[in-house]
Amino acid sequence: MSQIISKSTDNKEIMQASNIKMQALNMKIELVSSANLVEEAIDLVERYRGYGQQNKEVVIDGTSEST
């Protein structure tokens, strides 16, 4: 994105690229700072953390092998 901004000489293109970059950064900040979303992610990780161990399954290179 910054390559478009630095290479462009057209003010309209620079403003559009800057606007898209700001929107993306705002969405990233919103996702990271959303307490509900963060809590849901933590719950999901905790729920599936022991899943492979409970099933005695080893995942190597995307393939699973029972132990």
* Same domain assignment for residues 18 and 3: yes
* 14: containing domain: 1-33
CB-side neighbour CA atoms (13 Å) of 62: 0
Q: Place 47 in a pLDDT band, splitting at 50, 70 and 90.
A: confident
* Same domain assignment for residues 23 and 48: no
C-alpha dist (Å) from residue 31 to 17, 22, 23, 28, 34: 21, 14, 12, 5, 5
* Same domain assignment for residues 62 and 47: yes
Q: Is residue 14 predicted with pLDDT exceeding 70?
A: yes
Q: Place 22 in a pLDDT band, splitting at 50, 70 and 90.
A: very high
